[in-house]
Amino acid sequence: MSEFTLDLNDDQRQLRDWLHGFAADVVRPAAAEWDEREETPWPVIQEAAKLGIYSLDFYAQQYFDPTGLGIPMVMEELFWGDAGIALSIVGTGLAAVGVLANGTDEQIGTWIPQMYGDPGDVKLAAFCSSEPDAGSDVAAMRTRAVYDEATDEWVLNGTKTWVTNGGIANVHVVVAVVDPELGPKGHASFIVPPGTPGLRQGQKFKKHGIRASHTAEVVLEDVRVPGHCLLGGKEKLDERLARARERAAERAGGGERVKNAAMATFEASRPAVGAMAVGTARAAYEVALDYARTRSQFGRPIIDNQGIAFQLADMRTGIDAARLLVWRASWMAATSKPFTAAEGSMSKLYASETAKRVTAQAVQILGGNGFTREYPVERMHRDAAIYTIFEGTSEIQRLVIARTLSGVPIR
């Protein structure tokens, strides 16, 4: 058994420093401009592609880091640079993970490369799950997929919302209902290839934060996709639906095991969002610390006052604690340790709440300057609000943790 350590190895340190340099030299200088423009920062994404940061190979290497720390380090450094731009860079990964989790080897090899393109021709992908009436309540999903046996096509109809890269992506991965009577167990995922008729962008949202990341509705009107675009294939889907129907009558039998398996999948992905939050919190803390050291009032730096110094002490303590929770959950996922206490949700909950608190404290420490766009903490505070909302709200995380600890279906 290897010795326990929190030290990064040489490769990990080099990766962290390289990403930090990209975030400092490329991402951060562009942050204010693209936040104001509220547009996808194509030049930054293209630069990331040239350097190999925006690529399937890069994220695959981090995903297979045996310590589990590759992905959280990437997320923390990029989101330290700027949350909106970073989400534009990593947003395609949401769709790629959807294909990796559900697709066949052939589908993975065919579609994921098309999601990224190459440095000379960058592509985007979008993962379409949430709906106007179905966010946390996935059982309320209404987008339907109906199989046309005569043409071996699936016909998709519905509206998706809060879609990163929605409508501007080259490849869309859409979650739809194939058997309404089975609730969430009757859902399946589909690839919508580039240029498919019937898919269009709906409303583009003007957001409080992460403005450089494109977020919009995706409208599907009689969208026909070939049978081979069903992730996992029809034979596998039919088998899964048959099992779900058999279990439906058992209520708390096998059906409950299906739900727990799905929860485990979500648990494994949540630490990455926690790492994003840690990056934003760390960025705000560093600005506040530097300001407190250089800003003088009454003849001395304001950090000499306990009211400021104690805030900074709490901010740094919270950030380090959040990172440790993220690293623990990431290591557990990489080493197939069971989340017996919903450790993935714990990491996401604590890190996201920490980011909101730390960025608010940073604004307060900067005073009037912190309330202006001349200083980045104002933008960081707006960006931090998203972490307690997407990938499961803080309330949902607490519900998952409480249910896991108690074994009771708390509502």
- The set of catalytic residues is 391
Owner of token pair 């088998």: 239
Task: Give the H/E segment covering residue 315.
Answer: helix 306-334
User: In whole angstroms, what is the distance from residue 255 CA to residue 249 CA?
Assistant: 9
The Cβ of residue 322 has, within 10 Å, a number of other Cβ atoms equal to 26
String of b and e for 83-119 (b: at least 16 CB within 10 Å)?
bbbbbbbbbbbbbbbbbeebbeeebbebbbeebbbee
Q: Find all residues with CB under 8 Å of 384, minimum gap 6, and list them.
A: 83, 209, 277, 280, 281, 284, 352, 355, 356, 358, 359
Q: Find all residues with CB under 8 Å of 285, minimum gap 6, and list them.
A: 312, 315, 316, 319, 358, 362
User: In whole angstroms, what is the distance from residue 277 CA to residue 355 CA?
Assistant: 5
Q: Are 110 and 117 in contact (CB under 8 A)?
A: no
DSSP class per residue in 389-405:
TTTS-HHHHHHHHHHHH
User: In whole angstroms, what is the distance from residue 346 CA to residue 333 CA?
Assistant: 13
User: In whole angstroms, what is the distance from residue 272 CA to residue 75 CA?
Assistant: 7
User: In whole angstroms, what is the distance from residue 34 CA to residue 379 CA?
Assistant: 11
Q: Are 322 and 357 in contact (CB under 8 A)?
A: no
The Cβ of residue 280 has, within 10 Å, a number of other Cβ atoms equal to 33
Return the SS3 of 203: strand
Owner of token pair 């089975």: 182
User: In whole angstroms, what is the distance from residue 306 CA to residue 312 CA?
Assistant: 10
